[in-house]
Amino acid sequence: MTSVAVLCSGGDAPGMNAAVRSLVRNGLQQGYQMLGVEDGYAGLIKGRMVALNSLSVADILNRGGAFLGSARSPEFMTPQGLHAAVANCHKHHIDVLVVIGGDGSYRGAATLVEQGIKVIGLPGTIDNDIGCTDYTIGFDTAVNTAVEAIYRLRDTSSSHHRASVVEVMGRHAGYIALYAGIAAGADMILLPEQPVAAEAVASELLRHQRAGKDHQLIVVGEGWGNSEELAKYLHQTTGIRINHDVLGHIQRGGEPLPMDRIHASCMAQYAIQLIAAGKLNELVGWRAGEYMSVPIAVGSAEIKPIPASMVDLAQVLSH
């Protein structure tokens, strides 16, 4: 009997539970033994495995977070931690390990492949920054959460004729900022990939004010820089009253939207199909409307640039 284990790694993303549910039920359909690893790579190091069946994953489709637990594990990147993780894969007779996570999780998976462990990767990250796929599990829900929060904050800034500086998640990638900013009608969107001087932001803020806008919205991807310092600088430089808010981890939580549930379920099904076909050490993705996979060595090295057309659109719409 083929034994398939699944773990969630890194920051949790809405839809991870839907992916686990689909993996387990599709795996059982193939006759596989299904295991869950608790708390990501940290749990793999400690050998924390639980058997999963159809009832184990009942009623988790609409739950946020990761019911198996997720974690970032610096220990896993040490020789001792990696050795313990590999030893536990052998001890528990794991034939294939499915890793749900982002770029850091994929680098960890690639390290396991180098040690002879068979791996399949699923893109679970709200940042949508995995190069080998157009879409990552959790992105749609995170953007919707950000847009809803931004609109609530904008109501207040509009009432008091202020500008709002709202920081969203995205330490190295500006996808949430870009999509949420466009959807919320932002006047400026600041992205980690495109450094912009605070002086230029202040100049643009004044230009909007002269054009007759009595309230403005600036959406900042967290990797752009210190949004709190920016808000202080803008107030001191322009005299405009500024509201500053950091959305933080609310973007990770909450019930996953249908799009994330569907993509997660389909990607997990595709992963089981890859295992059944003996096509291992692959990363599952979604490109041009189709589910596909690429070798882990290729996919984990791909960089996903911000689409220039979307940036151009945001600039046009802000005028």
Give all domains of the chain, ordered by start, each with its CATH number: 3-138+256-299 (3.40.50.450), 140-252 (3.40.50.460)
Catalytic hit among 127, 129, 245, 260 = 127
Q: What is the pLDDT of residue 168?
A: 96
Residue 319 has pLDDT above 80, yes or no: no
Which residues, in sequence order, are CB contacts of 242 under 8 Å at separation 6+? 162, 163, 164, 165, 231, 232, 234, 235
Overall average pLDDT of the 249-264 stretch = 94
Average pLDDT, the chain: 94
Q: Cα separations (Å) of 106 from 30, 116, 125, 185?
A: 25, 15, 11, 34
CA atoms within 13 A on the CB side of 153: 25
Confidence of residue 101 (pLDDT cuts 50, 70, 90): very high
With the CA atoms of 104, 72, 257 and 167 taken in that order, what torsion angle do they form, in degrees rounded to the nearest 10? -80
3-state helix, strand, coil in the chain (%, to 5): 45, 20, 35
Q: What is the pLDDT of residues 24-44, one digit of tens each?
A: 999 999 999 999 999 999 999
- 25 phi, psi to nearest 5 deg: -70, -35
Q: What is the pLDDT of residues 293-307, one digit of tens each?
A: 999 988 888 889 999
Overall average pLDDT of the 77-101 stretch = 96
Confidence of residue 153 (pLDDT cuts 50, 70, 90): confident
Q: What is the pLDDT of residue 66?
A: 93
Residue 160 has pLDDT above 80, yes or no: no
Confidence of residue 242 (pLDDT cuts 50, 70, 90): very high
Assess whether 127 carries a catalytic annotation.
Answer: yes
- 113 phi, psi to nearest 5 deg: -60, -40
Q: What is the pLDDT of residue 54?
A: 96
Instruction: Give me 55's structure tokens.
Output: 């009832």
What span, in angstroms and rounded, lies between the C-alpha atoms of 191 and 307?
12
Q: What is the pLDDT of residue 136?
A: 97
Residue 257 has pLDDT above 80, yes or no: yes
Instruction: Give me 152's structure tokens.
Output: 């609530």
Buried b / exposed e across 202-234, counting CB within 10 Å, b at 16+?
bebbeebbeeeeebbbbbbbbbbbebeebbebb
Query: What's the distance, CA 114 to chain centroid?
Result: 25
The answer to whether residues 284 and 137 touch, using CB atoms and an 8 Å cutoff, is no
Say if residue 27 is exposed, middle or buried (CB neighbours under 10 Å; 0-12, 13-18, 19+).
Answer: buried
Residue 15 has pLDDT above 80, yes or no: yes
Confidence of residue 256 (pLDDT cuts 50, 70, 90): very high
What span, in angstroms and rounded, lies between the C-alpha atoms of 110 and 139?
23
Q: What is the pLDDT of residues 107-149, one digit of tens each?
A: 999 999 999 999 999 999 999 999 999 999 999 999 999 999 9
Q: What is the pLDDT of residues 182-231, one digit of tens each?
A: 999 999 999 999 999 999 999 999 998 888 888 889 999 999 999 999 99
**Sheet of 163-168, strand order:** 188-190, 216-221, 163-168, 242-246
Buried b / exposed e across 163-198, counting CB within 10 Å, b at 16+?
bbbbbbbbeebbbbbbbbbbbbebbbbbbbbeeeeb
